[in-house]
Structure 1
Amino acid sequence: MMAGENGQRGEGDLLIGEERALRAHPLRAAVLRELHARPFVSIETPRRVLHVAFLLDGAGAQKDREALTRLCQARGVPAPAAGARHHYVAFGGASLRWESHAEFCTYTWDLPSTPLLPGTLPFQPNASTLAGPFAEVMQPGPLLVAVDLHLLPDTSEDFMLDRVFDPASLARADVNDGLAEIATDFRADPSGYVRVLVRDRGLSSESAGALVQRLLEIETYRTLALLGLPEAQRLAPAIARIEARLNEAAAAMTRTAGLSDNHRLLDELVALAAELEADSAGSLFRFGASRAYMEIVELRLATIREVPLPGWPTWQQFLNRRIAPAMRTCISVEERQDKIARKLANAADLLRTRVNVELEQQNRDLLTSMNERTRMQLRLQRTVEGLSVAAISYYVVSLIHYLLKGMYEAGVQHKLGLHLDAGLASAALVPVVVLAVWGVVRHIRNAHGDEE
């Protein structure tokens, strides 16, 4: 089998021999590339990493890609390929890693740093002073995540963490089997960045790069996961109101008896169901995304293998204590939406059944009334038929009487040798005429499908 009609081998085709190839699935190359889409970048200690994430809409994603392309062209470095979801470029001693996701994009600047002098604090100078490169990038959407990560070699000196972090929120742990220590308070500093300190105790450059990327992903995805909480708090009052009105409607269903009342309740339940469905559809993506982001956070926390330090919570312990209630709130709101939707559907079905039964009863009463009117019309028809037979017979006999009388006066009977009395002859024809008229009327009635 040739690779294609023109004999050229496409990307993803499996070459067999010099001129033959097995034709690959159209998505094979993309699937293979995805495994290597976001490789870990080696980092040498010491290092300063600034990481930001912006929320995007459809137009923002395109503007973000165009701004990055202009930045790369201005710096004389390769621009991202069409359709690329990630890009890595070096600017002298610094480097930029750009990633585009479903609803956000990230920029990560890897900047050189120097070892701390005795008595000095980490995160100096401030991130706002080092964030000059970001000024060249047009902000594509609202800023959601900003992280200032400082990777330093571990020394015996006191870093005076209480002067760098808030002791009430400080989370510390040994990671990577004791080869590093991580610390953060998950709070924004005066420049708006969340500070993360990593103390290197023997990490290789590859391990350091992998650890830094995982820590940045933990901070990014835990922030994105919490976006579901404001949505849940916004929906909670409306859900409570709908639930209370549903309970009132269910109680009213036991007291209503008229069709109009049931119709009114049914209309109200349908309106409540429509309102709930609109809110549920709007929050479906947000709650689903929050669950997915939280799963990524849990996977990253498991990967770095935290070991608790005496007197301090680990990152996982701190996040579980703070984020778990928020995620349970989101899950609770989503479950309440689903349960109330089912209850509204059940109540509406019961009301529809009651309305249908009442409509069937009305239809039955209507049909009974129509049958009664039909019977009355049939009796009236029979009465009219009897009267019509009598009337028609009277007119027919009268015509015969006048005919015989006229024939007698004109002498026609004498000429024909007949001597009939007009009155007697008319009287004798009455039964015949009545039977004949009745037969004609019956034939007409039978012709119209009346078998009576």
Structure 2
Amino acid sequence: MTLTKGLVMPFFGDHPLRYALANELHARPFPLVNTPSQAAYIAMKHAAGDAPRARTAERAHLIDLLDRFDVSHPKPNATHFSGSIGRYTLKWESHTEFVTYTIFGDGTDDHPFSAEAFAVFPEDWLALAPGECVTSALIRVEPGPDDASITKKAAKWFVPESLAISRVLDDALVIAADFRIDSAGHMRLAVFPRPEVGSQRIGRVVQRLCEIETYKSMAMLGLTEARGLSSQMTLAESKLSNILADMATADSDPANVLTQLLAVSGQVENMGAQSAYRFAATGAYEQIVNQRIDVLREDRFEGRQTFGEFMMRRFDPAMRTVNATERRLQEMSARALRAGELLRTQVDVERSAQNQALLTSMDKRADLQLRLQKTVEGLSVVAVSYYAVNISLYVLGPLEKAYGISKIFLAAGVTPVVLIFVWLLLHRVHKQSD
């Protein structure tokens, strides 16, 4: 250990990512937002495809904006940036599927939620964005002198039927939104801080409101995916049910059933592969939305619905639809797998029956072959004995004259001996060959 300026420095090597990982916990700091102020927020989802190429395009788009205001560029491979552009402050963040821009400016104008802050984004620059806008919002921060004043402004700025308004962070602020797109094409978010609330705390609330809106919008993409799959899944389920019905019939053709089953299974697996990422992302975004609402520590404002209640009534059913679609797709895949196993079992049983029949047929053939062989052996004994007897008679012919023995008696005496000898000889030959 070495003592340097009162500090103890250890003698060990640092992991190459030690400082990067530690600094990651402090990345993307909350903005400082004063009262009164206004902000413009936009989130753009980059086109699906090569992620590195998308990030390169996003960075080039940011640099184009910064160059128009003669602002220094962020570090290479940076995923967030904050800096001044004119009299406004820009906050840029790059995420996995989208990129966000937020413009903060002190003071408010006489026309609430006017698009003045959005004028910082040049129209031609917006038109060249490497992606599509998933949400944009205008945020107004102004003091809330009393509940009556807040109620009056909220009724004027938002649609009452959709209005969500609540006290947050132990009644330090009141937040309001209706999650509707106004005539200018933007969401409206209002923040009413108490006089003693600091700019850092206001910035955290504004940041979380933007995140709630963004992740809500990104999560809703899963609902579109689920609705698009609904008709395809219904058709695939019908086909799968018909296949299972065909399998239950006695005259079903396994080869034909297998062809149909492979087609449906391939369709189901393709749907699962195409939607897996979107459904997984939707689940992650849903959790972030709920977590961001929880950290606000909402309390009811004059009996109105809170942000959490709004999400429970409007957002949660959509997420349940996505979850139900994902489960339905998984169950279809499992059914197709079970159908394949049943078909395989059916084919195995039929194949076993065929093998049993083949073995029985082989046994019969072997038995017939054995009988034929015994018959042939018998005929062979007779044939060989016939020739052997004739030869023996020629050999014993002199005895007929010498002893006066008739040829018939010689044949009668020789034949049994020859038959026994030939039979024993052939039996021994077959036994040795076996």
TM value normalised by structure 1: 0.80
SS in 2 for 1:41: coil
Confirm or deny: 8 A CA contact 1:126 1:191 kept in the other structure: no
- Structure 1 residues 440 and 103 mapped into 2: Cα distance closer, same or farther (>3 Å)? farther
Confirm or deny: 8 A CA contact 1:232 1:329 kept in the other structure: yes
- Structure 1 residues 273 and 420 mapped into 2: Cα distance closer, same or farther (>3 Å)? farther
Q: What aligned pairs does 1:183-262 form with structure 2 within 5 A after superposition?
A: 183-202=176-195, 203-254=197-248, 256-258=249-251, 260-262=252-254
**Which residue number in structure 2 is paired with residue 46 of structure 1?**
36
Select the residue among 146, 164, 171 that pairs with 1:171: 164
Confirm or deny: 8 A CA contact 1:401 1:422 kept in the other structure: no
**CA deviation after TM superposition for structure 1 residue 193, in Å:** 1.4
Select the residue among 94, 99, 103 that pairs with 1:105: 99
Q: Given residue 121 of structure 2, which amino acid in structure 1 is its aligned partner?
A: A
SS in 1 for 2:131: coil
**CA deviation after TM superposition for structure 1 residue 447, in Å:** 4.1
SS in 2 for 1:188: coil
**Which residue number in structure 1 is paired with residue 427 of structure 2?**
442
SS in 1 for 2:183: coil
**Which residue number in structure 2 is paired with residue 12 of structure 1?**
none
Confirm or deny: 8 A CA contact 1:127 1:191 kept in the other structure: no
SS in 2 for 1:90: strand
Deviations 1:352-394 (A, max 9, x none): 3233222212211121011101111111111112212322333
SS in 1 for 2:178: strand
Q: Using the alignment, how far apart are the partners of 1:36 and 1:380 within structure 2?
A: 94
Deviations 1:387-429 (A, max 9, x none): 1232233345545666788xx8xxxx9xxxx999996898466
- The yes-or-no answer on 1:55 pairing with 2:45 is yes
Q: Using the alignment, how far apart are the partners of 1:100 and 1:308 within structure 2?
A: 34
Q: Using the alignment, how far apart are the partners of 1:439 and 1:326 within structure 2?
A: 94
- Structure 1 residues 448 and 261 mapped into 2: Cα distance closer, same or farther (>3 Å)? same
**Which residue number in structure 2 is paired with residue 84 of structure 1?**
78
Q: CA RMSD in A?
A: 3.5
Confirm or deny: 8 A CA contact 2:39 2:117 kept in the other structure: no
**CA deviation after TM superposition for structure 1 residue 87, in Å:** 2.4
Select the residue among 273, 281, 287 that pairs with 2:279: 287
Q: Which deviates the most, 192-201 or 264-273?
A: 264-273
Confirm or deny: 8 A CA contact 1:179 1:201 kept in the other structure: yes
Confirm or deny: 8 A CA contact 2:38 2:117 kept in the other structure: no
Q: Using the alignment, how far apart are the partners of 2:240 and 2:86 within structure 1?
A: 65
**CA deviation after TM superposition for structure 1 residue 220, in Å:** 0.3
Deviations 1:220-243 (A, max 9, x none): 011111111111112222333333
- Please list every run of 5 or more consecutive structure 2 residues that lacks an aligned counterpart in the other structure: none
**CA deviation after TM superposition for structure 1 residue 330, in Å:** 1.1
- Please list every run of 5 or more consecutive structure 1 residues that lacks an aligned counterpart in the other structure: 3-15
- Structure 1 residues 359 and 153 mapped into 2: Cα distance closer, same or farther (>3 Å)? same
SS in 1 for 2:44: strand
**CA deviation after TM superposition for structure 1 residue 443, in Å:** 4.0
Q: Which deviates the most, 163-172 or 245-254?
A: 245-254
Deviations 1:275-307 (A, max 9, x none): 222222322222221121111111111112222
- Structure 1 residues 438 and 152 mapped into 2: Cα distance closer, same or farther (>3 Å)? same
- Structure 1 residues 361 and 75 mapped into 2: Cα distance closer, same or farther (>3 Å)? same
Deviations 1:226-272 (A, max 9, x none): 11111111222233333344444445554x124x4455445434433
**Which residue number in structure 2 is paired with residue 96 of structure 1?**
90
What is the aligned-residue identity percentage?
Answer: 36
SS in 2 for 1:237: helix
Q: Using the alignment, how far apart are the partners of 2:240 and 2:419 within structure 1?
A: 74
Select the residue among 267, 272, 282 that pairs with 2:264: 272
Confirm or deny: 8 A CA contact 2:83 2:89 kept in the other structure: yes
**CA deviation after TM superposition for structure 1 residue 317, in Å:** 1.5
Q: Using the alignment, how far apart are the partners of 2:267 and 2:314 within structure 1?
A: 31
SS in 2 for 1:37: coil
SS in 2 for 1:96: strand
TM value normalised by structure 2: 0.83
**Which residue number in structure 1 is paired with residue 294 of structure 2?**
302
Q: Using the alignment, how far apart are the partners of 1:127 and 1:422 within structure 2?
A: 143
Q: What aligned pairs does 1:125-164 form with structure 2 within 5 A after superposition?
A: 125-126=115-116, 128-132=118-122, 135=125, 138-155=128-145, 160-164=153-157
**Which residue number in structure 1 is paired with residue 60 of structure 2?**
66
**Which residue number in structure 1 is paired with residue 349 of structure 2?**
357
